[in-house]
Amino acid sequence: MSENIAVLGLGLMGTALAESLLAAGHRVTVWNRSPAKAGPLVAKGATRADTPAQAVAANPLVIVCLLDYPSSRAVLEDVELAGKVVANLTTGRPAEARELATWVAERGGEYLDGGIMAVPQMIGRPGALILYSGSERSFDRYEQAFAAMAEPRFTGADPGMAPLLDLAMLTGMYGQIAGFLEAAALVTSAKYPLGEFTSSLLVPWLNAMAALQPAWAEKIESGDHATEVSNLEVNRAGMENLVRAFREQGVKPDLLLPMKTVIDQRAARGLGHEGLSGLVEEL
């Protein structure tokens, strides 16, 4: 089904979103603060609006993709939102999403928040994912249109849920990057070829470790941190060893030290017999 959709914000991501909607046959009206960015989309069939209010007037679904929430709020300020569905795909904090959802509801609109788990080049292609939360009725109504941009996944009625899960996924990513950077510093300090270490040793090892995480999640959900793999005391000694080895090698273990602090704290409570999953309770 072809929908009438307004896209507010034509940065790298907004442009990719609008392109994928046009390619799927939707009627798309675009607006951007710097109007020149609309040109290539107009050439592909989009309608250009001079103001956000004009873009929204003719379209029941409004997709927002701007720098941040303050700019999203400013752009929607003078727009008639009654009866509209606002899907804000701008990255932000859960509290900002909840606040904007209330603000839109006060103006008679329905609100969905979205967390984009993709870069612009992935939009409209398999592998791209967008997490949504907020109005389930709006999600159900437009799920098919959303699917043109990326696989749509509804995560709950709390508008803050999609940004929270987005941040949780980024957290996992930063943890992995931190581990890689420390490993890279250690390996290069010994002049071992980093490319070979990374592809033939580290990546297979990380994949094997990642495969254990669903079992860890079960332990955390159950609160039972008993382990048959390696207990906290063994890991405490291992981390001590690691940090010492880094220093002997002339490398700073700065990205590892926060984890060591939490392991030491948990072990000091006499919980050295538990597995590492118990660390979550220290957080």
State in angstroms the smallest separation of the CB of 86 from ligand NDP: 15
Among 120, 156, 179, 272, binds ligand NDP (CB under 6 A): 120
* By CB under 6 A, residue 173 contacts ligand NDP: no
Q: At what angle do helices 161-189 and 232-248 cross, to 10 degrees?
A: 50
User: What's at 267, amino acid-wise?
Assistant: A
State in angstroms the smallest separation of the CB of 61 from ligand NDP: 18
* By CB under 6 A, residue 34 contacts ligand NDP: yes
* By CB under 6 A, residue 33 contacts ligand NDP: yes
The piece of 3-11, 96-104, 243-251, 258-266 that touches ligand NDP (CB under 6 A) is 3-11
Pick 12 or 268: Cβ nearer ligand NDP: 12
DSSP string, 36-96: GGGHHHHHTTPEE-SSHHHHHHT-SEEEE--SSHHHHHHHHTTS--TT-EEEE-S---HHH
Torsion of CA 238, 241, 245, 251, to 10 degrees: 70
Among 14, 152, 159, 278, binds ligand NDP (CB under 6 A): 14
Which of positions 210-269 make contact with ligand NDP (CB under 6 A)?
A: none
Structure tokens given for 102: 């209330």
Q: Total residues contacting ligand NDP (rule CB under 6 A)?
A: 21
Quickly list H helices, the chain: 12-23, 39-43, 52-57, 69-76, 94-106, 136-146, 161-189, 194-196, 203-210, 213-222, 232-248, 257-268
Among candidate residues 66, 68, 67, the one with its CA nearest the CA of residue 52: 66
Check if the beta carbon of residue 19 is closer than 8 Å to that of residue 143: no
User: What's at 272, amino acid-wise?
Assistant: G
* By CB under 6 A, residue 160 contacts ligand NDP: no
* By CB under 6 A, residue 29 contacts ligand NDP: no
* By CB under 6 A, residue 10 contacts ligand NDP: yes
Among 4, 54, 71, 198, binds ligand NDP (CB under 6 A): 71
* By CB under 6 A, residue 13 contacts ligand NDP: yes
Q: How many other CB atoms are found less than 10 A from the CB of residue 152?
A: 20
The piece of 116-124, 155-163, 169-177, 228-236 that touches ligand NDP (CB under 6 A) is 116-124
Structure tokens given for 220: 């955390």
Among 20, 90, 138, 277, binds ligand NDP (CB under 6 A): 90
* By CB under 6 A, residue 116 contacts ligand NDP: yes
Pick 49 or 66: Cβ nearer ligand NDP: 66
Instruction: Please work out, in degrees rounded to the nearest 5, the angle formed at the alpha carbon of residue 13 by the alpha carbons of 11 and 17.
Output: 115
Q: Which residues bind ligand NDP (CB under 6 A)?
A: 9-14, 32-34, 37, 65-67, 71, 74-75, 90-91, 116, 119-120
